[in-house]
Amino acid sequence: MANCKFFLDTRCNNNDVTKPAVLKIAVFHKKSKVLLSLDVRLLPSQWDKEKGQVINHPQAHLLNISLDKKLNQVREALILLDFSTELSKLTTPELGALLRDKLGLEAPALRGVRGAKKDKKEGTPDDPKSVGYWYDRYMSHCVAPRTAQIYKCTKNRINAFLARQDKDIYKLRFEDINKEWLLSFNDFLAEHAPKANGRAPHMRNLRTVNNYAIDNEVTTNYPFRRFSIKREKTKHRDFTVEQLRRIFCYECESEADQRYLDCFKISFLLLGANIIDVCHLDKIENGYIHYIRSKTKKPYTIKIEPETQALIDKYRGEKFLLNYMDNCQHYRSYYGHMYKALKRLSKELHLPDLTSYWARHSWGTIAGMLDIPWQTIRGGLGHGGDTVTDVYVRFDRTKVDVAQRRILDFLLYGIDYRNAHMVATTKPEPAPKEPEEPVKVDIIKHPKHKKRRPRIGDYLKGKSLNGDTPEDNSSEDDTANGNPSNDESPKNEG
């Protein structure tokens, strides 16, 4: 809990005992203090520091009564704040402003009054009330370097927008963000990103940081309740079968372009794997590649087909399975060169576009065209796996292996298993069977009732469903098997 006491501030007079000084109430909170100036001026000889009382003054008695009342009001306010748990959430300047309102005191001038000085952390990266402080805190928790880079890009866009107002993200408060602010920021982003999907990532990143601050009880403001982030449907980036065959059969003039085109082929042959995962493949174990996808952090297992093995043997690497990272420090460097090369090759191949994303889209489209079940396609692309059903059912990866072989046979060799599957599974329908006559069950007669339904207890007592005892049934069975019954067996005459 905060403490308070009287303080005669003689610093403004350079500790001159001949000049009167302002009497103040010093409030100590969170290892700092705030001074509340009172409308009382005293000489050092008129103030008893130990007792905290006015002495040697013509109106000492009245002043002491008034000062005790002021001090008790401050103590009462501190007790109420501590009881409501609001005191721990207040900074020292905020506490000083609140006490001045309760006592009816005016805010002091900035110069010469410590309690009214501007907080040194305000507007800096260490200001815990700013958006920039919590933005940096959230970025420090991003494990993937690419994710942190995307959030940093959004931070730069926010600073560029606030620069028009002579501000930055460290001077921005969460309470300053409302629907009008978001609309203005969205219009600013539209100047460089006219499409909605280009602006949506920045708005989602800002929303994530806002939710992070709410979880840490920094703010209760949530402006995205009234502002919806617009998205456009993603355009399908898939090639036709003829276009893919053109890519697989094309031979580039330069060795470098052929290297990048083969990387695209490997991505397709690995079920549309991302380039970052292709560059960091480790090794092959028992004809399969096992890796953790960088985007979802989920394990993947892909069978290596002979066509894939041929390209892997062509580009064997030292650091990783493939040599794409042998001369590059980061995969983004290799990906940048690959992106430019594929753009050039798209014109030579007369394609609408050619990027690494087309491999993944094309694999899924051809799989659907070959009537491969959606569940198998999802397993191949690595989608799903978070439903309750997935907890109880283990997906059979051999289905993906069979699907991949069907896709490659259809794409590279023109073998369509759809018709063969239909012929192989076609069987003549069996002739309809004649309906069997219903089995009639005799009702066991009960001594008390004329007719009664059979019960399980009758069988346990030695009766069958037709009213005969087990001995009668066994005799009939013996007769049917050719064994004479007790009545028909020859009597022992001797």
CA–CA separation, 442 and 465 (whole Å):
7
Residue 18's nearest CA partner among 57, 46, 59, 38 is 46
CA–CA separation, 288 and 408 (whole Å):
17
Composition of the chain by helix, strand, coil, percent to 5: 50, 10, 40
- Which residue pairs, CB below 8 angstroms and at least 24 apart, start in 7-13? 7/35, 8/42, 8/44, 8/47, 8/49, 9/35, 10/44, 11/112, 12/112
DSSP state of 89: G
Asked if residue 35 lies in contact with residue 9, where contact means CB atoms within 8 angstroms, the answer is: yes
Tokens read off for 155 = 């931070």
Tokens read off for 483 = 């064994």
Q: Which residues contact 246 (CB under 8 A, 6 or more apart)?
A: 349, 351
Asked if residue 162 lies in contact with residue 153, where contact means CB atoms within 8 angstroms, the answer is: no
Per-residue pLDDT of the chain (494 residues; tens, 9 = 90+): 678 888 888 887 777 778 888 888 888 887 778 888 887 888 888 888 888 888 988 888 888 888 888 888 888 888 877 776 667 777 777 777 777 777 766 555 443 334 444 555 677 888 888 999 999 999 999 878 889 999 999 999 999 999 988 889 999 999 999 999 999 999 999 998 999 999 999 999 999 999 999 999 889 999 999 899 988 887 788 899 999 999 999 999 999 999 999 999 999 999 999 999 999 999 899 999 999 998 888 899 999 999 999 999 999 998 899 999 988 888 889 999 999 999 999 999 999 999 999 999 999 999 999 999 998 998 888 886 667 777 777 888 899 999 999 999 999 999 988 865 443 333 444 555 555 555 444 444 445 544 555 555 555 555 544 545 444 444 444 444 444 444 444 444 43
CA–CA separation, 149 and 146 (whole Å):
5
Give 54's strand partners.
47
Q: Is 386 exposed, middle or buried (0-12, 13-18, 19+ CB in 10 A)?
A: exposed
Asked if residue 223 lies in contact with residue 182, where contact means CB atoms within 8 angstroms, the answer is: yes
CA–CA separation, 401 and 380 (whole Å):
9
The domain segmentation of the chain, as residue ranges, is 3-116, 131-225, 241-423, 441-480
Tokens read off for 44 = 């050092």
Tokens read off for 46 = 């008129």
CA–CA separation, 9 and 405 (whole Å):
88
Topology of the domain covering 241-423: hpI Integrase; Chain A (1.10.443)
Residue 417's nearest CA partner among 405, 401, 399 is 405
